A = this chain, B = another copy of it.
């Protein structure tokens, strides 16, 4: 049969690897057999072959069970200085793994400058920059203080914060209130209107919400997120439903406060104007759920994925104090008019905590409309969530995706599954301008760098490999007998 004959025949295809090729052919009504095969991930050879001194699967079952049993509840609004453990006036918390002023990207530097101006520690941009570089201010990750912050994540003493408690385990997480879109501190803007807005948030918004929560009592965020997932949110970049549900929940109490009606109206108007309000509640919800799984001996489940705009960092439940970092990636996505990838900062923010807990990119099938914000098609959103089941340990009982027949969200990323499948976690995220002072310029999708997972694997094996003598060896012999 010549090649010419081949073209006269109807096409029959066996597709090896990327499922999306097969999907395209099926759309053209070409019969396709899909082979479930992937190239081994670079550097992932031998993963899972080293005998361990612990039962990894049992450890992961415990870790993911602790994650899924988490019950995040909004208990109130306070200030960072009043509630965040270890908070000091000369300590600025930031997103991502640890980083020095010298290595900070543009938007994070901008947010630090803004934070200094907001706290009145300096009067001008130049003075603020000098102060930041002087060493007089300490920089530590939000994540090391039971906190999370979107984008630059800069959190200072006087900022109001949501207080979220994991009712199952008693631990708490904290997050600033969302400032809205456009020129805002978390994207590195610090012009006078940005600082004025932060003052209003500290003096009006925070106190009004604190009083409202006192009247309201604890609010079940796990249930609220479950509802939002049935209303087209994914808990990260699309929070319109969560924000709407929060407003209707709080408004009946807010309206009863002995505060001037005009001020109450301004608070309601601001919440209404900002669909990202709920992001700053889904983040600490995810954080306090994951923190409860942190420290489970032998678990290879991720409890942290986060970025500071320079490095991407992950942490494992079984290696709780260790950061595994690598240079952050560029976000691929949709840019606002006038901007392109050449203007973009690298991947930044603690908001990937939502993906770590099974929301955001992992729940995109629940939010097909988000593709208008981050790019792609609703089919891409479905496929993306379906891929994430390959690298996760369980499906949520509480959070379901109607489009997938009410299947639970893929929850609890396993380091070993990532390495052996070659599938990286998918994160959807906002894009900051690379220079301080500009702000948001788009939104899109991003993946962590492979190197984080490779170095985490090396450390994990070093920690948990069975040795030829002592307990480890006994464990190995026991396992071989089973």
Write the residues of chain A forming the contact surface with B, with a CB cutoff of 8 angstroms.
Answer: 227, 230-233, 240-241, 243-245, 247-249, 251-257, 261-262, 264-266, 268-269, 271-272, 368-369, 371-372, 377-379, 402-403, 405-406
Contacts and interface: CB of A to CB of B under 8 A. Distances in A.
Nearest to A31: B31
Contacts of A403: 368, 378, 403
Contacts of A253: 265
A31 to B, nearest CB: 9
Interface centre among A253, A264, A369 (most CB of B within 10 A): A369
Contact of A272 (B249, B262, B272, B379): B249
Given A231-B232, A232-B230, A368 B272 contact: no
10 contacts: A247-B247, A248-B248, A252-B268, A254-B255, A255-B264, A255-B265, A371-B402, A372-B406, A378-B405, A403-B403
A229 B251 CA distance: 24
A251 B232 contact: no
Nearest to A381: B402
A231 B368 CA distance: 10
Nearest first, the 9 A-B pairs at minimum CB distance are: A244-B244, A368-B402, A230-B369, A252-B269, A252-B268, A369-B402, A231-B232, A247-B248, A231-B231
Contact of A268 (B251, B261, B371): B251
A255 B251 CA distance: 9
Q: How many copies does the complex hold?
A: 2
A233 B264 CA distance: 29
Contact of A402 (B240, B247, B271, B378): B378
B368 A232 contact: no
A27 to B, nearest CB: 11
B255 A244 contact: no
B240 A252 contact: no
Given A252-B265, A369-B402, A241 B231 contact: yes
Contacts of A379: 405
Contacts of A371: 402
Contacts of A268: 248, 251-252, 255
A240 B231 contact: yes
A336 to B, nearest CB: 20
A232 B244 CA distance: 13
A265 B272 contact: no
Contact of A251 (B251, B256, B368): B251
A232 B369 CA distance: 10
B252 A261 contact: no
A401 to B, nearest CB: 9
